[in-house]
Copies of this chain bind each other. A is one copy, B any other.
Amino acid sequence: MEEPPPDVALGDRSEEEVLAAVLPAFAAVPGVLVGPGDDAAVLDLSPGPVVATTDSMVRGQDWVDAWSTARDVAAKCLTQNLADLAAMGATPTSLLVSIAADPATPLAWLVDFAVELGSRAAARRVGVVGGDLSSASVGTIVVAVTALGRLDGRDPVCRGGAAAGDVVAVRGSLGRSAAGLLLLQRDGAGPDPAYPDLVAAHLRPEAPVVDGVVAADAGATAMIDVSDGLLRDADRVGRASGVLVDLERARLEPFVAALRGAVGDEAALECVLAGGEEHSLLAMFPGPDDVPTGWAVLGTVREGRGVAVDGVVTAPRGWDHFAG
């Protein structure tokens, strides 16, 4: 990839020149019959159904330039979308990327974004197969990613399949992204050198993508990725399945303990319970023996509706895009 000079903006180049600078970032992967550059991409996703999801990031809302580079934004946007596919038990195959940006945006920002997205996608054999570039008003950058995946003959793992008696388990961390955000907010100016891993967990969260398939194969009855907070996402499963997802406080303790030094006692618990953008996988399994290696048991599914901690039904809290 040729790095564009830092003083070149999108508006200094034609759309074609911008695309020519970006498209080399996207490696060819198997199954792409027609890639970027035609009216539409043509994808061999056989056998079986196609799984599709879309998720966006908005500058000033989902990231601020003082904290996040273009590469951070690419990494986070990819994780958000792949986690949604993983939570269905799907294997990601393809991405389409739509970007609306202020023409004053440096071309280097867009190229950095494309390079990071392309290399992370290629490492998972996911193709960037299509996209769209639009100009937008001063200061605006909106990145909308659509991700496609395949099930390879598996049944999708939906939110509504949990039953009383199931075991609740998580694969991945809890509260680390939210703790990283707290540290960034506390310091204002930038990453806290004392806890760079937590800051990184916020800026570039990683999802345990392949574990979605593992969970599906292990017989998971329901699954969701923790994008808006453990309580809120567990509540979604509870309501969709018509059951109560009962979390044990003691089972959450190791996750809370890991954050206590960085953000303090109260905030650590709140990060674990309500922290968003973690993108770990929360799944329900028929019995304890079905929980795959590497997953942490968090509780039990009971008769009822919603989410509880130690049997006490709790109002879900976590991220909402519009509610104040």
Q: Please report A residues at the B interface, Cβ cutoff 8 Å.
A: 10-11, 13-16, 18, 33-34, 37-46, 48-58, 60-62, 83-85, 87-88, 90, 94, 96-98, 100, 103, 129-137, 139-140, 142, 144, 146-149, 151, 156, 158-160, 223-225, 240, 320-324
The distance from the CB of A9 to the nearest CB of chain B, in whole angstroms, is 9
- For A147, A156, A225, which residue has the most chain B Cβ atoms within 10 angstroms? A156
What residues of chain B lie closer than 8 Å to A139, measured between beta carbons? 137
Q: How many angstroms between the C-alpha atoms of A97 and B160 in the bound complex?
A: 23
Contact status A51-B58, CB under 8 Å: no
Given contacts A53-B130, A140-B137, is CB(A324)–CB(B40) below 8 Å?
Answer: no
Once bound together, how far apart are the Cα atoms of A53 and B43, in whole Å? 11
Chain B proximity of A24: nearest CB distance (Å) = 18
Taking the closest CB of chain B, its distance from the CB of A99, in whole angstroms, is 8
CB distance from A47 to the nearest CB of B (A): 8
Given A45-B45, A52-B130, A100-B142, 10 other A-B residues pairs in contact with their CB atoms under 8 A: A11-B324, A15-B323, A33-B49, A33-B156, A34-B158, A37-B240, A40-B53, A45-B49, A58-B137, A58-B140
Q: How far is the CB of A284 from chain B (nearest CB, A)?
A: 14
In the complex the two chains form, what is the Cα distance from A4 to B292 in whole Å? 47
A104 to B97: give the CA distance in the assembly, Å.
26
Chain B residues closer than 8 Å to A100, beta-carbon distance: 56, 58, 61, 142, 144
Q: Do the beta carbons of A39 and B159 come within 8 Å of each other?
A: yes
Whether the Cβ atoms of A144 and B132 lie closer than 8 Å is yes
**Assuming A55-B98, A98-B55, A132-B144, is B322 touching A13 (CB within 8 A)?**
yes
CB distance from A119 to the nearest CB of B (A): 21
A-B contact list, 14 entries, CB within 8 Å:
A18-B322, A39-B83, A40-B84, A40-B149, A43-B49, A46-B48, A54-B98, A56-B132, A58-B100, A58-B134, A61-B134, A62-B134, A134-B321, A137-B140
Least CB distance, A145 to chain B, in whole angstroms: 8
Contact yes or no, B225 A39, CB < 8 A: yes
Name the residue on B nearest A18 (C-beta). B322
Among A18, A41, A144, A322, find the residue whose CB has the most chain B CB atoms closer than 10 A.
A322
Q: What residues of B have a CB within 8 angstroms of the CB of A97 in the complex?
A: 54
Assembly CA distance A55 to B96 (angstroms): 10
User: How long is the Cα–Cα vector from A40 to B82 in the complex, in angstroms?
Assistant: 10
- Kindly identify which residue among B14, B146, B224 contacts A320, using a CB–CB cutoff of 8 Å: B14
Q: Are B38 and A88 in contact (CB under 8 A)?
A: yes
* A218–B134 CA distance with the chains assembled, in angstroms: 34
Nearest CB in chain B: distance from A241 CB, A: 12
* Cβ-neighbour of A41 out of B42, B51, B137 (below 8 A): B51
